[in-house]
């Protein structure tokens, strides 16, 4: 049975009538639905009509659960979808959400009626509104479904969605992140994130803070401009092969080193652009994924952390939050030697220096050795541990969706569907994101085929 | 999958404007109160969820500033924002943290200083659609006013019935030392107060408060060791409706709210809500929403919400007291308000309500509403695990 053959009635999950009729219809259909087959109201408490224990036992008898304890459920990615990143999307932002969700659902071969809940990961204010999810969640198909919105990068939303499924609350979850950064002055908006007493009047914004981090990192570890330029060249070259990337133009080391300063010491080609785009992921519980998906990708490790907000209080050269997040994720996935065990990594390279700092925080090399790693070509497309074969955030940065996009790219790599930027035989992938001033927060996800 | 209980709550005193502390200190007050309440240290907390709604604090992504003081330094922190339902969503997220088995003890912290913006309603106006709705000047009060008018037209409810909701809330708030507005009002006072947006008068509406609240969730393995009487989370539901107010079939009856309530009752095995639920902490920022919610939750028949108030069923001492804390009509710190409902419901189940305690509470309902009456969240707490 292919996943497309798996069809069931979702009649009671679609409420098309007006107020009063819903009540009657729902009460009436309560019995029909429960008895006939597994489509459950709102995906709670039972697994497609059967008690959860039975499902687990079945999976166990087939030897499918042997990776962990018998009761330890896993969560699978059964569908991913994205839209191409651009400078400025012309359509309304909620239309983008609908497109993204459609793409992910088509990939999972599911109907929106078969989705239990929607988890959105978006920022407010970036599109000039508060409570942006008021429009994106219904547009993505969340109407009359369970919803929650994480006001951070989409990768955090993925973590929340993962826990919702592990908690037995839901069977299928749509994680959605619509990133529209063309609607507002992002420098001003990120300046608004600073505390009004000590920081805001300095005129800082996140890009400037990234520049401060880069400068300190360069000074401490003797990272050269050439090493930084190599990261840009590598990622922009990869982006050429990714049809969803925003900046698809090859650059040379000379071009990077001669490009204008954006905020010193960062040059224009060393930092991420602002893009419009977005992506979505469909997650499913293990028993269901085994039944309806031919190529599930499993979330085996998740970690996220938060360090101090105050730039002056922390060591800017270390991505401490990433370090903690990676520890949590590696422990969960049982990874001891990241370089050897991970086949492909998608890193949140908001600047070239942040990619290098992330190498160290993720344990790919010791502190200060990231420059050598890039020089030796370890993280090239053909290296031992390819990093950002999609082009990374340097090539497309749909704000708030950039982290989830890293995850989506990992999943595509593991499935062997990355087309021109495919890494051979990728079995374990790592997705990473950082948000906030001086990389205050970070989330790391490990996926396995 | 683990069963989850609320083991302690902490809240600040709510006032119009906290001049003596800044945002992180406010969050610190609430989270340390919650930790002290259960004799926990911050090291016991595995992760945090933060509920703050932008941009009422005057700082975008304010959680990043305050989460360190709330206890999130070098801990996993996830920040939730679902408009008015933010606090409850943060609580639900914390519940999922624990229920998934990933963490044992998780704290949900919500903070809001609604005194920061010059006009909160102008900010709320920016959440409406810029093409179709924003120019009309709709705001949160509109959400209370339009259903009130429609309810009066369709079911014949009266100004006086709605006024009773305000009278009840203010009477109850006298028992709550943390409440913001603590004065008694009469029906005449409400009916003579100035009109804010017809038919809602000043006393029909909630205030703007500064404050924070923290709730600690623990898994079944440790909950009983922390406290003798934890409040078990027996059901959580959230639901999203469409964003456009004009698209609703009838604004006087919230069909999506009724669906959410039914889903919750099914989870908790509640047949007759009025009898089975002992106390409810509902998100009632405008008096009209009390009528709409009591009807949607099945406490009374459709259109009879006003009569329920007149009969005194939902007053202290009645069959199902609603908002013994005074509720949102007396305290509204937007992002934290919905979590305050969870906290107050948990206080009732844990028997820590002191003056506002309803006797023998076994089941307590908490609700949160957000967006343009769009996001509804419900949580059922009980003295015994489901």
B46 lies in some domain: yes
In this prediction, residue A104 carries a pLDDT of 97
Q: What is the mean pLDDT of chain B?
A: 94
In this prediction, residue A54 carries a pLDDT of 30
In the predicted model, is pLDDT for residue A31 greater than 80? no
Q: What is the pLDDT of residues B53-73, one digit of tens each?
A: 988 898 999 999 999 999 999
In the predicted model, is pLDDT for residue B26 greater than 80? yes
Q: Within an 8 Å CB–CB cutoff, is residue A151 touching chain B?
A: yes
In this prediction, residue A42 carries a pLDDT of 36
CB contact under 8 A, A320 and B102: no
Mutate to test the interface with B, among A163, A192, A299 (most CBs of B within 10 A): A163
Q: How many whole angstroms separate alpha carbon A116 and alpha carbon A114? A: 6
Q: What is the pLDDT of residues A111-149, one digit of tens each?
A: 999 999 999 999 988 887 888 899 999 999 999 999 999
Q: Within an 8 Å CB–CB cutoff, is residue A144 touching chain B?
A: yes
Q: Which residues of A touch B374 (CB under 8 A)?
A: 134, 138
Contact B208, B18 (CB under 8 A): no
Q: What is the pLDDT of residues B127-148, one digit of tens each?
A: 888 888 888 888 889 889 999 9
| Neighbouring residues of A62: CB distance < 8 A, sequence distance ≥ 6 | none
| Minimal-distance CA residue of chain B relative to A41 | B263
- Interface subset of A 212-231, CB within 8 angstroms of B: none
List the CATH number of the domain containing B102: 3.40.47.10
SS3 state of residue B340: helix
Q: Which residues of A touch B97 (CB under 8 A)?
A: 163
In this prediction, residue A92 carries a pLDDT of 87
| Minimal-distance CA residue of chain B relative to A92 | B131
In this prediction, residue B245 carries a pLDDT of 80
Q: Shortest CA distance to B335 belongs to which of B8, B82, B79, B95?
A: B82
CA distances from A336 to A197, A331, A342, B123 (A): 44, 8, 10, 49
CA A256 to chain centre: 28
Q: Shortest CA distance to A314 belongs to which of A221, A403, A193, A217?
A: A217
In this prediction, residue B118 carries a pLDDT of 85
SS3 state of residue B196: strand
Tokens linked to B327: 């509720």
B131 lies in some domain: no
In this prediction, residue B254 carries a pLDDT of 84
Mutate to test the interface with B, among A27, A45, A309 (most CBs of B within 10 A): A309
In this prediction, residue A58 carries a pLDDT of 34
Please report which residue ranges of B15-139 form alpha helices under DSSP H: 23-37, 63-67, 86-99, 120-125
SS3 state of residue B286: strand
Q: What is the mean pLDDT of chain A?
A: 84
Average pLDDT over residues B153-164: 95
Q: What is the pLDDT of residues B345-385, one digit of tens each?
A: 999 999 999 999 999 999 999 999 988 888 999 999 999 99
For residue A300, the surrounding DSSP H or E stretch is strand A297-306
Could you say which of B53, B127, B263 has the minimum Cβ distance to residue A134? B127
In this prediction, residue A7 carries a pLDDT of 30
The parent domain of residue B87 ranges over 4-116+208-226
In the predicted model, is pLDDT for residue B27 greater than 50? yes
CB contact under 8 A, A193 and B59: yes
Q: Are strands A297-306 and A75-86 parallel, antiparallel or unpaired?
A: antiparallel
CB atoms within 10 A of CB A88: 11
Measured distance between the N- and C-terminal CA atoms of chain A, rounded to whole angstroms: 20
Q: What is the pLDDT of residues A355-400, one digit of tens each?
A: 999 999 999 999 999 999 999 999 999 999 999 999 999 999 999 9
Q: How far is B52 from chain A (nearest CA, A)?
A: 9
Q: Are strands A75-86 and A276-285 parallel, antiparallel or unpaired?
A: antiparallel
Tokens linked to A299: 């979330």
Task: Name the pLDDT band for A63 (thresholds 50, 70, 90).
Answer: very low
In the predicted model, is pLDDT for residue B212 greater than 70? yes
Contact A392, A346 (CB under 8 A): yes
CB contact under 8 A, B78 and A131: no
CB contact under 8 A, B238 and A148: yes
Count the domains in chain B.
1
In this prediction, residue A14 carries a pLDDT of 34
In the predicted model, is pLDDT for residue B6 greater than 80? yes
Tokens linked to B317: 């001492």
Q: Within an 8 Å CB–CB cutoff, is residue A156 touching chain B?
A: yes
ipTM given for this complex: 0.96
3-state helix, strand, coil in chain A (%, to 5): 45, 20, 40
Task: Name the pLDDT band for A261 (thresholds 50, 70, 90).
Answer: very high
Q: Within an 8 Å CB–CB cutoff, is residue A324 touching chain B?
A: yes
Task: Name the pLDDT band for A152 (thresholds 50, 70, 90).
Answer: very high
Give this prediction's pTM: 0.91
Q: What is the pLDDT of residues A68-96, one digit of tens each?
A: 333 478 999 999 999 999 999 988 888 99
Least confident span in A57-71, A174-188, B66-80, B322-336: A57-71
Q: Shortest CA distance to B261 belongs to which of B385, B138, B367, B173?
A: B367
In the predicted model, is pLDDT for residue A20 greater than 80? no
Q: What is the pLDDT of residues B37-47, one digit of tens each?
A: 999 999 999 99
Query: What's the CATH code, domain A74-185+275-292?
Result: 3.40.47.10
For residue B78, the surrounding DSSP H or E stretch is strand B77-80
Q: How many whole angstroms separate alpha carbon B265 and alpha carbon A127? A: 38
CB contact under 8 A, A130 and B242: no
Q: What is the pLDDT of residues A389-447, one digit of tens each?
A: 999 999 999 999 999 999 999 999 999 999 999 999 999 999 999 999 999 999 999 99
Q: Within an 8 Å CB–CB cutoff, is residue A327 touching chain B?
A: no
Q: Within an 8 Å CB–CB cutoff, is residue A198 touching chain B?
A: no
Q: Within an 8 Å CB–CB cutoff, is residue A331 touching chain B?
A: no
In the DSSP assignment, the letter for residue B357 is P
Residue of B244 and A274 predicted with greater confidence: A274
What are the phi and psi torsion angles at B50 (to 5°)? -115, 135
Average pLDDT over residues B84-107: 96
In this prediction, residue B138 carries a pLDDT of 84
Give yes or no for a cis peptide into B318 (omega within 30° of 0): no
For residue A352, the surrounding DSSP H or E stretch is helix A352-361
In this prediction, residue A75 carries a pLDDT of 96
By CB neighbour count within 10 A (0-12 exposed, 13-18 middle, 19+ buried), where does A311 fall?
Answer: middle
Query: According to CATH, where is 3.40.47.10 located in chain A?
Result: 74-185+275-292
Q: What is the pLDDT of residues A198-249, one digit of tens each?
A: 899 999 999 999 999 999 999 999 999 999 999 999 999 999 999 999 999 9
B54 lies in some domain: yes
């Amino acid at each position: 049975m292919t996943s497309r053959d798996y069809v069931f009635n979702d009649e009671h999950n679609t409420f098309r009538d007006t107020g009063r009729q819903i009540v009657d219809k729902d009460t009436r259909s309560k019995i029909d639905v429960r008895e006939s087959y597994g489509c459950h109201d709102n995906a709670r408490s039972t697994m497609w009509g059967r008690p959860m224990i039975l499902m687990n036992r079945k999976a166990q008898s087939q030897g499918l659960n042997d990776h962990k304890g018998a009761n330890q459920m896993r969560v699978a990615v059964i569908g991913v979808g994205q839209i191409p990143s651009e400078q400025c999307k012309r359509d309304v932002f909620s239309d983008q959400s609908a497109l993204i969700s459609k793409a992910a659902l088509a990939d999972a071969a599911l109907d929106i009626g078969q989705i239990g809940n929607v988890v959105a990961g978006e920022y407010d204010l970036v599109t000039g509104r508060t409570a942006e999810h008021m429009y994106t969640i219904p547009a993505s198909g969340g109407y009359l479904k369970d919803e929650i919105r994480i006001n951070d990068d989409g990768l955090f939303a993925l973590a929340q969605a993962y826990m919702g499924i592990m908690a037995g609350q839901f069977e299928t979850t749509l994680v959605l992140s619509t990133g529209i950064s063309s609607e507002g002055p992002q420098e001003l908006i990120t300046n608004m994130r600073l505390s009004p007493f000590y920081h805001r009047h300095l005129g800082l914004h996140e890009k400037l803070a990234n520049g401060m981090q880069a400068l300190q990192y360069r000074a401490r570890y003797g990272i050269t401009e050439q090493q930084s330029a190599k990261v840009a060249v590598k990622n922009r070259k990869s982006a050429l092969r990714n049809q969803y990337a925003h900046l698809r133009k090859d650059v040379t080391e000379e071009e990077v080193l001669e490009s204008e300063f954006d905020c010193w010491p960062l040059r224009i080609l060393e930092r991420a652009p602002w893009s419009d785009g977005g992506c979505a992921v469909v997650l499913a519980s293990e028993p269901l994924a085994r039944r309806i998906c031919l190529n599930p990708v499993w979330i085996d490790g998740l970690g996220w952390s938060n360090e101090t907000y105050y730039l002056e209080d922390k060591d800017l050269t270390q991505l401490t939050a990433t370090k903690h997040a990676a520890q949590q994720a590696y422990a969960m996935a049982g990874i001891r030697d990241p370089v050897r065990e991970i086949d492909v990594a998608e890193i949140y390279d908001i600047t070239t220096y942040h990619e290098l700092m992330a190498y160290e925080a993720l344990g790919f090399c010791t502190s200060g050795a990231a420059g050598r790693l890039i020089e030796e070509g370890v993280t090239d497309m053909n290296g031992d541990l390819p990093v950002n074969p999609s082009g990374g955030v340097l090539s497309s940065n749909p704000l708030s969706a950039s982290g989830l996009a890293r995850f989506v790219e990992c999943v595509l790599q593991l499935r062997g569907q990355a087309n021109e930027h495919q890494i051979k035989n990728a079995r374990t992938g790592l997705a990473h994101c950082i948000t906030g001033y001086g990389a205050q927060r970070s989330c790391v996800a490990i996926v396995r085929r | 999958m683990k069963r989850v209980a609320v083991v302690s709550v902490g809240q600040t005193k709510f006032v119009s404007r906290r001049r003596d502390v800044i945002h992180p200190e406010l969050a610190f007050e609430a989270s340390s109160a919650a930790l002290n309440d259960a004799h926990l240290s911050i090291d016991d907390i595995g992760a945090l969820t933060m509920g703050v709604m932008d941009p009422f604090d005057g700082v975008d992504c304010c959680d990043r500033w305050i989460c360190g003081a709330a206890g999130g330094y070098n801990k996993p922190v996830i920040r939730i924002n679902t408009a008015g339902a933010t606090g409850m969503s943060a609580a639900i997220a914390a519940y999922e943290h624990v229920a998934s088995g990933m963490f044992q003890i998780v704290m949900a912290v919500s903070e809001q200083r609604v005194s920061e913006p010059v006009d909160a309603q102008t900010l709320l106006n920016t959440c409406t659609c810029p093409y179709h709705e924003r120019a009309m000047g709709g705001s949160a009060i509109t959400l209370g006013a339009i259903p009130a008018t429609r309810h009066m037209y369709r079911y014949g409810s009266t100004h006086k019935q709605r006024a009773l909701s305000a009278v009840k809330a203010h009477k109850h708030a006298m028992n709550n030392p943390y409440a913001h507005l603590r004065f008694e009002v009469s029906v005449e006072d409400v009916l003579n107060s100035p009109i804010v947006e017809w038919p809602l008068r000043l006393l029909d509406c909630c205030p703007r408060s500064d404050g924070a609240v923290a709730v600690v969730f623990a898994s079944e393995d440790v909950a009983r060791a922390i406290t003798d009487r934890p409040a078990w989370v027996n059901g959580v539901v959230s639901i999203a409706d469409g964003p456009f107010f004009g698209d609703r079939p009838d604004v006087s009856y919230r069909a999506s709210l009724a669906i959410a309530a039914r889903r919750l009752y099914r989870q908790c095995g509640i047949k007759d809500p009025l009898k089975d639920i002992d106390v409810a902490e509902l998100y009632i920022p405008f008096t009209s929403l009390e009528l709409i919610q009591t009807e949607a939750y099945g406490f009374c028949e459709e259109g009879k919400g006003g009569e329920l108030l007149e009969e005194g069923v939902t007053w202290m001492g009645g069959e199902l007291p609603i908002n013994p804390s005074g509720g949102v009509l007396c305290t509204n710190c937007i992002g934290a308000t919905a979590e305050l409902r969870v906290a107050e419901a948990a206080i009732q189940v844990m028997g820590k309500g002191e003056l506002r305690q309803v006797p023998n509470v076994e089941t307590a309902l908490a609700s949160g509403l957000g967006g343009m009456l769009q996001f509804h969240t419900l949580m059922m707490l009980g003295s015994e695990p489901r």
